[in-house]
A and B are shown apart, each in its own frame.
Chain A
């Protein structure tokens, strides 16, 4: 997340703790949603469950500073407690270490508006899924300084990655590198032939590093040029989304879209508030392809049968769960059912997305 933005947005919800970041030009957004099962203890409303859930943002640097040295953390920290003290305006991160040492970090936070990119993976025309390793190996051929890369579905069923050269620079001066991958390197391929999108490599590399380390396959959903590309990773307790803007067409510059570049929005405007208004209108009036449990496909939780977690993601900022999430098959079924029940809204409370949007409209007014 630090590769994307300077501020870390924390949003506790009923479905888990969501960590998000957006970049300054609003052309990249990422969210990591940790299900309650990831934690030993998860109380979104604190001691008083009826209290309204607070969202806040903290400086990325401050937060990262707490978890500075990962190897030493793994050796010394037994438990990590994160709690929000709204009245004191502090986010407290407490590391309970060996030998009775407790390190408490009080980070100043700011209350903030909802940070939610609007995107719809079901509405995307093309999707690809590959083990992270394949994509990492592909990206290694491009220089570290390369800004943009074009992903395309080429002839012969090959998926190609090539560095993007702006037309202003003389095309005869820059080296062009192109990598072709066969379809069978991917786990799933459902692409529109001849489709192509161009996006920033930097944030994508960040996600790839995480994906490789956690050994999760990466899914790429994309549509026409200009529509955002969505990268997702998921396992039983974690859902990650990275939404990047794409070049709208080969001729024009990379336009920072608003965070609301969804399939049926009008042209992006600079005014964030306006877009949200129109998005909400669109949300309420459009019909969605409902998932099996009746929850509209929210960016945070499409309901699919989770694959067995091959290895627990160990590089999260929180400590590793302690046996709460077994990776072995016998428990899987149980967990997915449990998961389902956490997610499926009861009659009383609205589905997570709708709830979130409703809050925002209040905020806007």
Chain B
């Protein structure tokens, strides 16, 4: 099938090949949690929450000079019709955990455990990226010291065109799918995953496109955090 219409250049959902999806973020959706965020990329909707560092439950895993980062990723039963995504829960938890561990300053909280909970409410492709973005917002909201803002997005290559932000339909086409997670300001890559195969020169183009998408998301996240900080400070008063 044609993923990019040859006449008009539109994709299946009406975007151009390098258009990002509609992004929306909200902070503080879970009142009881120390930090929480709701992140939407297109139709993919994800909620993340984090609680303040607690004592490590499994003493054998305790690291004496830094915090232990744990992430639990789960998809709500109503999030998608197809159920096979559910089985990748452990793998995606590990991916998110490693990405966040690269950006939290864990040595400032020794002998403790940081739990990040991410729940996918609506899955339309790129759940992994949406979870990482939501987790970044959550950690910034809970005032965990972080090295940088981590953002993530995916790009693919269908109908001989690099496409930014694959939705579920394009993802199911089983074409090449590159997921990139970067530290936005430091310009460092913390996550790079790919499915299927790509020639190396096309891969560079696709990865570059994904990095551009990540930077756009980082800019948005930064604005959201700035707005939120301003609001909180102005209300606290003198």
Co-complex (A, B): no
Chain B: residues with CB nearer than 8 A to chain A?
none
